[in-house]
Chain A
């Protein structure tokens, strides 16, 4: 654990990608094999079930540190991370005298103790804490609570592994994807070719587009490009292999069970097929707002009502495997013809072809793009006709050309301290529009300002708080911001009657006063126009 804890510390404080990469490949070159497998699993989102709830961890920490609950809460709020709070609050340990245990030992203990009685778990956790340094406790707590995000992308893990074992990153990415069990897989097996072939569910790494940052004319002749609508859904891969259907999300989550609608495709698609596309709620082949999907996505069980109110479809736009062969190297043109043939055949309403937009000039395409919102789309995807299906985010062949967001001017009325790296600053704001002489809150946003601006707003909040409700401060309504968002939907859970998609601060309107902000009527008009 010591070696892993120091890796995490290095990764956590390093500001340079190269340093992180070096630290990781050093780790992969020197750590124990069983630990490496677990580390790959953790960084790619495969972690054991939680053996204990955060509530118990907090409780046991309070008990050991002899602290009242309210003080623990106050600390948690300041630190912003439960695992770190606990690591900081526990009393001095005898870490120096305790033998080091491996990462795999801990994770396998978690699995072993998952069904154990509470006193057994408690004894295990407290004795583990008391044998660890502060940094080790932090990592241990993160392993227990399962939110293991520490500024390392899966891509970086892949690159570090590639560097250590001498394989191409794309090969590594494919091998560590899919369904495998870190408690049984060995490091050798995991990275070998045979294992990959046996796992029928294994998806390919997604090819991701960058936002177009130049004028579209700079892309060269129109004839080299294919244009499609950019959908606002969940990017997914649909796999039909060995007589089964698997659906993966871009977050590498196997979501087959969440979408029973797709099961019908098992008998309609030929074997040895992998499609890339978008999971979108849809009726009559038309996409519906993403908000609908959110109503069923977080649920354990999909009910009949969900299936009725938010039926989903798969808008396919690429094919990566055909007749069991990896065809990612074929040019897009060729893949598209195969895709059109495949999708046409079942003729089933849950599998749709994401259409290609015909256009003869960039000007014409720009005009078509203006109608994206009416299409239920967020813009246009541009893909080079000759392009292979690459791995990860690559510049050059695929671009997303999004429409400008919707914007509204609003005044800040509440502020709350941020979490994690902003735990000392008021960075989470609630905004309001005017309704007569009242203010009605309609959105929260956490991002969109520079660190300097956040510091400035933070200073304003500290000087202009009117009231305090727990962590929330009511602020003098004075600062005006332009809020951007991607979509708007009716909602009865919000006072304003609307829910926004991806609200964020577009800019600080220092030139405007609270008298100049938009009204609730303005929001209602937007709902009327774009909320369907």
Chain B
């Protein structure tokens, strides 16, 4: 019997009687990270990394949750479970499961490059590796973070000298904090959309050292934005909420921006292919580093990725899940906009 089954509720470990990132309410859920497609509401009990804990509470409210640290293991019904850094966002972890001398690792979302805030991805030896494949095509090959950061800074200073506000679109948990790292030394003020502000406060309370930022409020005078930076989630892009920043330029930070057509489709003035997921080479390197005999590819280009692995001597299969990839972190649109409407009034 396989250690993990792919069920309609999610990835299920029968031996330990727990789920990983289930998409329906279950008794016991182990969570890789706090993104909404991985951490869903309604389960009786949650286990996650300690850095994910406040974020999980922010998003899921009053839940029964416990946390552990990386490389710390717990025993659940005789199954040994431990968490290992995935480098995706703050608290994101791979989940290692060991039972009867067999080891499975569920990657959750991950990226290889150390972004300086999420912890550095650690390959974990295993027999079976369940890997995401959001960007599992060779057209996705990221530039180093430093180079993209430089492009963003240049763009901001061009906007500034043209008297425009720079509006950076970045999803609120993960990308937004990463973008803030990039601009913290620039001599500009940072303004945050309410959804990002909430995450920001949660992280500050948890003791994270984040750059100084201000929340965009209905009463903030328009002149304050001029030449400065506003960070907003994708759900705010193109809404009337943006009007008060005019004149402004929109820069979208997402791995999808690798393809020109997507920059135009989003009607962005600039696209920065800054992703929190592994690129093609990153996925291949990660798979090889695990030494796994069998790989299951989940959300993304799983068909292409698993076929390529099979053709290159690594047994692989695709698995259909309800994880969503980088377009994923669509904030709950209605909540955000209602909240912002409330702000307007």
Contact = CB atoms under 8 A, between A and B. Distances in A.
Contacts of A151: 264
Interface in B126-155: 137-139, 141
A12 interface: yes
Nearest to A463: B322
User: Across chains A and B, which 9 residue pairs bring their CB atoms closest together, nearest first?
Assistant: A88-B139, A421-B261, A421-B265, A421-B264, A420-B261, A75-B139, A423-B261, A74-B304, A79-B259
Contacts of A79: 139, 259, 261
A70 B311 CA distance: 12
Contacts of A67: 138
A423 B139 CA distance: 13
B307 A75 contact: no
Contacts of B263: 12-13
A298 interface: no
A105 B293 CA distance: 52
Interface stretch (B7-15, B57-65, B267-275): B267-275
Contacts of A89: 138-139
Contacts of A26: none
Given A71-B308, A89-B139, A78 B259 contact: yes
Interface of B: 137-139, 141, 256, 258-265, 267-271, 301, 304, 307-308, 311
A138 B260 CA distance: 11
B262 A423 contact: yes
Given A13-B270, A68-B311, A75 B137 contact: yes
Nearest to A138: B260
Contacts of B268: 13, 15
Nearest to B141: A88
B83 to A, nearest CB: 31
Contacts of B265: 421-422, 424-425, 451
Contacts of A14: 269
Contacts of B308: 68, 71
B195 to A, nearest CB: 19
Most chain B CB neighbours (cut-off 10 Å) among A89, A420, A421, A424: A421
B307 A70 contact: yes
15 contacts: A12-B260, A12-B264, A13-B264, A15-B269, A71-B138, A71-B308, A75-B137, A78-B137, A81-B261, A84-B259, A85-B139, A88-B141, A89-B138, A421-B264, A422-B265
A88 B137 CA distance: 11
A65 interface: yes
A80 interface: yes
A71 B280 CA distance: 12
Nearest to B262: A424
Nearest to B250: A15
A70 B259 CA distance: 19
B258 A88 contact: yes
- State the majority secondary structure of interface residues on A: helix
Interface of A: 12-15, 65, 67-68, 70-71, 74-75, 78-81, 84-85, 88-89, 138, 151, 419-425, 451
Contacts, number: 72
A89 B281 CA distance: 12
Contact of B301 (A15, A68, A74): A74
A74 B140 CA distance: 13
Given A13-B269, A84-B259, A75 B138 contact: yes
Nearest to A76: B139
A93 to B, nearest CB: 13
B31 to A, nearest CB: 24
Nearest to B269: A15
A74 B262 contact: no
Contacts of B269: 13-15
Contacts of A424: 256, 259, 261-262, 265
Contact of B261 (A65, A68, A71, A80): A80
Nearest to A424: B262
A160 to B, nearest CB: 20
Given A88-B259, A424-B261, 18 more contacts: A12-B260, A12-B263, A13-B269, A13-B271, A67-B138, A68-B308, A70-B307, A74-B301, A75-B138, A78-B259, A81-B261, A88-B141, A89-B139, A421-B265, A423-B259, A423-B261, A423-B262, A424-B265
B247 to A, nearest CB: 10
B156 to A, nearest CB: 16
B141 A421 contact: no
A70 to B, nearest CB: 7
Contact of B304 (A65, A71, A85, A138): A71
A146 B137 CA distance: 26
Nearest to B271: A13
A422 B263 CA distance: 10
A81 B264 CA distance: 14
B71 to A, nearest CB: 35
| Residue from the set B138, B260, B262 with the largest chain A CB neighbour count within 10 Å | B260
A422 B261 contact: yes
A14 B268 CA distance: 8
Contacts of B270: 13
Contacts of B262: 421, 423-424
A15 B141 CA distance: 26
B333 to A, nearest CB: 11
A74 B137 contact: yes
Contacts of A420: 261, 264
Q: Determine which residue in A78, A85, A138 has the highest number of CB atoms from chain B within 10 A of its CB, and name it.
A: A78
Nearest to A454: B265
A13 B268 CA distance: 7
Contact of B139 (A78, A422, A451): A78
A417 to B, nearest CB: 11
Contacts of A138: 260
**Residue from the set A74, A80, A420 with the largest chain B CB neighbour count within 10 Å:** A74
Contacts of B267: 15
Contacts of B137: 71, 74-75, 78
Nearest to B265: A421
Contacts of B141: 88
